[in-house]
Structure 1
Amino acid sequence: MLTDASILFVAAFLAGALNAVAGGGSFLTLPALVFAGVPPLAANATGTLALLPGYLSGAWALRDDMDKLRGFSLPILSIASLIGGTLGALLLLWTPAPVFDIVIPWLLLAATMLFALAPGFITAQSTSPASKRLVIVVVLAVAIYGGYFNGGLGILLLAAFGALGVGNINAANGLKNLVSALLTAIAVLVYIAGGLIYWPEAVWMMVGATSGGYAGARASRRVPVKYLRWCIVAAGAVMSLVFFVRV
Structure 2
Amino acid sequence: MTAWELALLALAGVACGWINVLAGGGSLLTVPTMVFLGLPGPVANGTNRIAIIAQNIVAVGSFRAQGFADFRLSATLAAAASVGAFAGAMVGVRLDGAWFDRVLALTMIGVLILMATGRDRPAPPPDASPQARNLVLGHVLMVGAGFWGGFIQIGVGFLMMPILYRTMGLDLVRVNMHKVFIALVFSVVALAVFAARTEIAWTAGAALAAGNALGGLLGARATVREGAPLIKKVFYAAVAAMAVKLLFF
TM-score category (smaller protein): 0.7 to 0.9
Partner residue, 1:166 = 170
210-219 or 120-129, which moves further after superposition? 120-129
Moved more, 228-237 or 18-27: 228-237
The answer to whether the Cα contact below 8 Å between 2:6 and 2:204 also exists between their aligned partners in 1 is yes
Distance (Å, rounded) in 2 between the aligned partners of 1:139 and 1:230: 31
Query: Equivalent residue for 1:85?
Result: 85
Hey, what does 1:112 align to over in structure 2? 112
Matches within 5 A, 1:25-40: 25-40=26-41
- Give the C-alpha shift of residue 99 in structure 1: 2.5
Unmatched tracts of structure 1, length 5 or more: none
Cα gap change, 1:118 to 1:139, in 2 (>3 Å): farther
Deviation at 1:96, TM superposition (A): 4.2
Which stretch shifts more, 51-60 or 125-134?
125-134
Distance in 2 between residues matched to 1:226 and 1:170, nearest whole Å: 20
Distance 1:96-1:5 versus aligned 2 partners, 3 A rule: closer
- Provide the aligned length of Structure 1 versus Structure 2: 241
> Cα distance, 1:16 vs. partner?
1.8
Cα offset, 1:147, TM superposition: 0.8
2:147 counterpart of 1:175: no
Distance 1:209 1:2 in 2: 18
Quick one: structure 1 residues 9 and 77, their matched pair in 2 at CA, closer, same or farther if it must change by over 3 Å? same
Judge which range, 171-180 or 5-14, deviates more: 171-180
- Residue 68 (structure 2) aligned to one of 66, 78, 98: 66
> How far, CA to CA, are the matches of 2:88 and 2:39 in structure 1?
21
Alignment of 1:1-247 (within 5 A): 1-63=2-64, 64=66, 66-67=68-69, 73-119=73-119, 121-125=121-125, 127=127, 129-163=132-166, 164-167=168-171, 169-219=172-222, 222-224=223-225, 227=229, 229-246=232-249
Q: Check the 8 A contact 2:149/2:187 in 1, yes or no.
A: yes
CA contact (8 A) 2:56 2:184 kept: yes
Distance 2:220 2:228 in 1: 16
Over 3 Å counting, the alpha-carbon distance change for 1:175 and 1:65 in structure 2 is farther
| Deviation of 1:110 (Å) | 1.5
Q: Secondary structure at the match of 1:18?
A: helix
Asked if structure 2 preserves the Cα contact closer than 8 Å seen for 1:105 and 1:240, the reply is yes
Amino acid at match of 1:3: W
Gaps of 5+ in 2: none
SS in 1 for 2:224: coil
SS in 1 for 2:198: coil
Distance of 1:160 and 1:206 partners within structure 2 = 27
CA–CA distance in structure 1, aligned partners of residues 99 and 169 of structure 2:
38
Partner amino acid, structure 1, of 2:89: A
Counterpart of 1:159, as a letter, is P
